[in-house]
Amino acid sequence: MKYVKELISYNNAKKIVFNKLEEFLSDKFLEVDIFKALGKICFEDIYSPCNLPMFNKSAMDGYAVIAEDTFGASETNPIILNLVKEGHLNEEEAFRLSTGMKLPKNSNAVVMKEYTKDHETFVEVISGVYPNENVSKIGEDLKKGDIVLKKGETITPYHIALLSSIGMKKIKCYSLNIGIISTGDELLDIEDLIDLKQLEENEMIVNSNVLMLSDLVRELGLTVKPYKKAPDNPEFIEKAIKLALLENDIVVTTGGTSVGDRDYTIEKISEMGNLLFHGVQLRPGRPAGFLECEFNGKKRLIFVLSGYPVASGIQFELFIRSYFKPRKSINLPLNRNIASSLGRTDILRVKIVEEDGISKIEPLRISGSGILSSMTLASGYIIIEENLEGYEKEDIVKVYLL
Amino acid sequence: MKYVKELISYNNAKKIVFNKLEEFLSDKFLEVDIFKALGKICFEDIYSPCNLPMFNKSAMDGYAVIAEDTFGASETNPIILNLVKEGHLNEEEAFRLSTGMKLPKNSNAVVMKEYTKDHETFVEVISGVYPNENVSKIGEDLKKGDIVLKKGETITPYHIALLSSIGMKKIKCYSLNIGIISTGDELLDIEDLIDLKQLEENEMIVNSNVLMLSDLVRELGLTVKPYKKAPDNPEFIEKAIKLALLENDIVVTTGGTSVGDRDYTIEKISEMGNLLFHGVQLRPGRPAGFLECEFNGKKRLIFVLSGYPVASGIQFELFIRSYFKPRKSINLPLNRNIASSLGRTDILRVKIVEEDGISKIEPLRISGSGILSSMTLASGYIIIEENLEGYEKEDIVKVYLL
């Protein structure tokens, strides 16, 4: 197989992909309405244009006061303050307000309603407050110029709350169209499936890769265009890829990668531009390829992924997902030994289990590029670098959480 | 304040909510097309109707053989097998196939192309295979009757791959309409915002809660209907809530919960049905309320959340998110002491940091119900139960990952 001669290390492959993506994405953004920004990826650092809160606010229902006026107040020694209606306090005055209202000028604390008796023109305070008590101070959440969101961060509901609070109606987010093509005579698109007998009798399998990869793209907050399966026919594959290149910024193919009898995908793609690598010292996921080309005057990237669902899932994870939305990682001890081969990066699906009260990493027993349930049962994965022969029980290892 | 008299424990409140939700949701499902099922919550256990793979498949490009025929093959001692074109092998016969193709009857292994020389009518095998080598065995991924997805699980791209592979075109998912109403004179809906000066001059804040809560609902794969802010006017609030009850299964309100001067929300809602609790021994999030009612002949639930964004975020997290999509949790040591009050459940936002190679939990220093950035900076939270006065450094604690 062609790629056997040209295998590169996972770390080199990753470097090549990430560098190309960085360059490629420099102008791939859209101003997204805040109502639709959830889950998208922020394209630039965002700094706060104002303080938040913008003014000193009451944190309670009660009375704005000058704290010093209330010192020593108690039930047996209530302090009397005159109620005013204007936005400015003099000594021995108070101002009635509700939670969230702006403090009048010269006031510096709020007495909770519970510790007062209201007499319309004056109020009795039966418990003193210190300066800033029950006050949301100007700028305590964000100061003008504070960073709110960093380039590359995924926008959560809490970010939305913060961004809207500082008046952002639109957010610059990554915007990309990604086309997905699966190749293989044996594939049947799910919309063409009648029943299971049809699969068995025709010795076909459902084109599950196109569905999985489409949803993996959707999870990135990017736009996906899934295509119908391409049969193992070089002209057809060429046409399909060209259409996808026309309609998308990036094309992801699965299947036909190993330069076998029917492996026209990589053959056809190689003719289209600059094949940056094909074949990675990686398991699962070895036959990954990556190409840049110009099509119709525009720069395009093509990811050539394996036809095996687990392999293509892992390849997507490592080369695409990790760039756009890196998984959270945690360092935990292993609960058993793991063997690995030198010279190859191994991706091991794992579960997190509780042992002696602490969380530990347990490798899943199932493996194999065909075993999809190894992905649905995994709570994460670990990367065993190519210079390691494995790990020992109790070694602390970084687990990436799925 | 009314709720001070009626505070119930967080665990009791949670039990009440979860029991009601379970009952309420018993008929709230929809058959969702597999193209649109990502991120939705599965409504029922799904068992595989077939084996996966459905037949023995080749895992490589090569030749299907009877493994026993190839024993002892080597470069110096190649074994000759006759090539056949039919789907049945006799002794000393081989069948050419590509990855993914069904094995012919009577064959039990595949010799990789690399270890053969093809002579059109026969093939030389230069390396033996053992039974099942390079074969994806029938049922190795799923056996007929295996559970594929459990009720309550969130559907991932890997589930989609697995579900489509066994021919599922539609999936029964939870289906709910949730209406969101924020109340408060001080609120300005973002669509009505012109500039920051407008906020400062009118002493208003952006209605960020409705945006945050809407996106929190969207993250559950449920349908949300955000309403315009309701001013602190009892008739208006009543009308707004009734409209929301008409148009949704569940209504979530924020603000006006503390029975203050302007706190009409809880007052109006209390009149509408059976207030199951109002006020929880919880920090942040104390003024949470929960009500069931009948409206227009239909059962409805109302969650009454705090007006403070962090408090309402935590209340949503604990009472709604945790039911539908519980966060992943991990047990890790604390990197410092934490104090808490007896008789109250504390929700502490934390970061996960690396210390001595292992991941540890570090409480965020910022706190306060108004400090939204405590949510955007947190990588998770811990729940300090009401019977604890805190934790000591190195105690192992469960962290829920945001």
Residue-range domain boundaries for chain A: 2-28+176-324, 46-52+140-173, 57-136, 329-401
DSSP H helices in B156-233 = 157-165, 196-202, 208-218
Residues of A whose CB is below 8 A from B331: 354, 357-359
Average per-residue pLDDT for chain A:
93
* B193 residue type, one letter: L
pLDDT at A132: 94
CATH number of A2-28+176-324: 3.40.50.300, 3.10.20.600, 3.40.980.10, 3.40.50.150?
3.40.980.10
Q: What is the mean pLDDT of residues B342-367?
A: 92
pLDDT at A3: 43
**Among candidates B34, B206, B359 on the partner chain, residue whose Cβ is nearest the Cβ of A331:** B359
pLDDT at A4: 46
8 Å CB contact of A200 and B54: yes
pLDDT at B265: 79
Q: What is the mean pLDDT of residues B244-267?
A: 82
More confident residue, A60 or A17: A17
Residues of A whose CB is below 8 A from B105: none
More confident residue, A305 or B356: A305
More confident residue, A175 or B264: A175
8 Å CB contact of B100 and A184: yes
In angstroms, the separation between the Cα of residue A380 and the nearest Cα of chain B is: 11
**Among candidates A100, A211, A358 on the partner chain, residue whose Cβ is nearest the Cβ of B34:** A211
Q: With a cut of 80, say whether residue A43 has pLDDT above it.
A: yes
pLDDT at A257: 64
Q: What is the mean pLDDT of residues A277-304?
A: 95
Quick one: DSSP state of residue B192? G
Q: What DSSP assignment string belongs to B307-348?
A: SSHHHHHHHHIIIIIHHHSPPPEEEEEBSS-EE--TTSEEEE
Q: pLDDT, tens digit, for every residue of B51-101?
A: 999 999 998 889 999 999 999 999 999 999 999 987 789 999 999 988 888
Q: With a cut of 90, say whether residue A250 has pLDDT above it.
A: yes
Q: What is the mean pLDDT of residues A150-167?
A: 97
* CB atoms closer than 10 angstroms to residue A302: 27
Q: pLDDT, tens digit, for every residue of B212-223?
A: 999 999 999 999
Q: What are phi and psi of B248, to 5 degrees?
A: -140, 165
CATH architecture of B329-401: Beta Barrel (2.40)
Q: Are B81 and B122 in contact (CB under 8 A)?
A: yes
Residues of B whose CB is below 8 A from A102: 203
Q: pLDDT, tens digit, for every residue of B91-127?
A: 999 999 888 889 999 999 999 999 999 999 999 999 9
Q: With a cut of 70, say whether residue B367 has pLDDT above it.
A: no
pLDDT at A1: 39
Confidence of residue B267 (pLDDT cuts 50, 70, 90): confident
The CATH fold of domain A57-136: Molybdopterin biosynthesis moeA protein; domain 3 (2.170.190)
Q: What is the mean pLDDT of residues A338-347?
A: 94
Q: What DSSP assignment string belongs to B12-33?
A: HHHHHHHHHHHHHGGG-EEEEE
> What ipTM, to 2 d.p.?
0.94
Residues of B whose CB is below 8 A from A370: 53, 57, 59, 136, 140-141
Q: With a cut of 50, say whether residue A64 has pLDDT above it.
A: yes
Q: pLDDT, tens digit, for every residue of A354-383?
A: 998 899 999 997 766 778 888 899 999 999
pLDDT at B3: 43
